[in-house]
Amino acid sequence: MYSQHNECCVNSNLLFCWTEDTNFSSFFPATVRLNFNPTRDVYWQTDKLTCEVNNSDRKVQPYMVVVSYPVNFRPRLSYKTIHFREFIPGEYEIKCYYFGPSLGKRMLLKNIHVALPPTSLKVEHYMNTYGRVAMRCSDNGYPMSELQIQWIVPDGLLCCEQIGSDLVVSDYAIHGVYTVRCEALVKHPLITVGLSTNASFIVFGKRDLL
C-alpha cells in the first residue's frame, strides 16, 4: 500500500509501523527466535520433535535437517516434524533453519539421543589392575545409565568381595562352582527401573576362573 509517510517504533519486542494517511498497520517480530519443542536431549522412539519460531506467518516456517547420525541410518532431506519412530537408537545432530522475509537466515543446532530402554543386565568378567579376576554389571539401554549395584553372594561363601560397583574374586577362593547375583537400580535419562541377573563361574585354583 502506497503512503506518503511511514513511522515505526519498537514496543514489547514488536516492530509497530503505521502510515499517516491510512488506518493500515502491520506487526513484525523485532527479534526472530527459534526453539526446539520439546527441549530435552533424550527421546523415545514414540516421541516427536518440532522447531518453532515466534512468527505468526504460516507461509514461512522453519524446517529441520539431520546432519549427523548413526552409520546404519538414512535421514530424509528435511523435516517439518521429526517422528522418532523412523529413527534407530543412537546420537544425532539436528539443525533448524528459518529463512524469514528480509531477516536473512537463522539456524539453531541441537544434539540429541534416541533412546533404548534398559530391560536386562549382563555380567562381564575381566582382570583388574591388581591382577585379580573381577566382574562388572551393565544394562542394555541407551544412552548410558547410572547404576547403583549390589552383589548378592550366598551366605558362607568367601569367594569374593564387592569393591565399588564390581565383584572381585578372592585370592583365597577354593575350587568350586559359584553363583552370585547382580541387583541394580538403573537410572536411565528417561526412566528408572530395578533389574537383576545371576552369574555363575568356576574357580579351579587360586585366581583361576571360568
- Hey, do 32-114 and 121-209 end up sharing a CATH topology, with the first three levels equal? yes
- Integer CA distances (angstroms), 141 to 40, 123, 128, in order: 18, 14, 25
Dig out the grid coordinates for 99 from the structure.
Answer: 529463512
List the domain boundaries for the chain.
Answer: 1-31, 32-114, 121-209
Architecture, CATH, for domain 32-114: Sandwich (2.60)
Q: Does the pLDDT at position 25 exceed 60?
A: no
Q: CA 4, CA 40: separation in Å to the nearest integer? A: 50
Q: Can you tell me the distance from the alpha carbon of 55 to that of 35, in angstroms, rounded to the nearest whole number?
A: 12
Fold for the domain defined by 121-209: Immunoglobulin-like (2.60.40)
Q: How many CB atoms lie within 10 A of CB 82?
A: 23
Which cell numbers hold the place of 115?
533412546
Give pLDDT tens digits for 151-179: 999 876 788 899 999 999 988 888 888 89
> Residue 32's pLDDT is what?
74
Instruction: Quickly count: other Cβ atoms within 10 Å of residue 209's Cβ.
Output: 19
Q: Which three cell numbers stand for residue 42?
A: 533424550
Report percent pLDDT > 90 for the chain: 59
Predicted model pTM: 0.74
Q: How confident is the model over 4-19, as pLDDT tens digits?
A: 444 444 343 433 333 3
C-alpha cell at 21: 494517511
- Among 207, 53, 34, smallest CA distance to 131 is for 207
Among 142, 139, 134, residue whose Cα is nearest residue 183: 139
188 has pLDDT over 80: yes
- 28 pLDDT tier (thresholds 50, 70, 90): very low
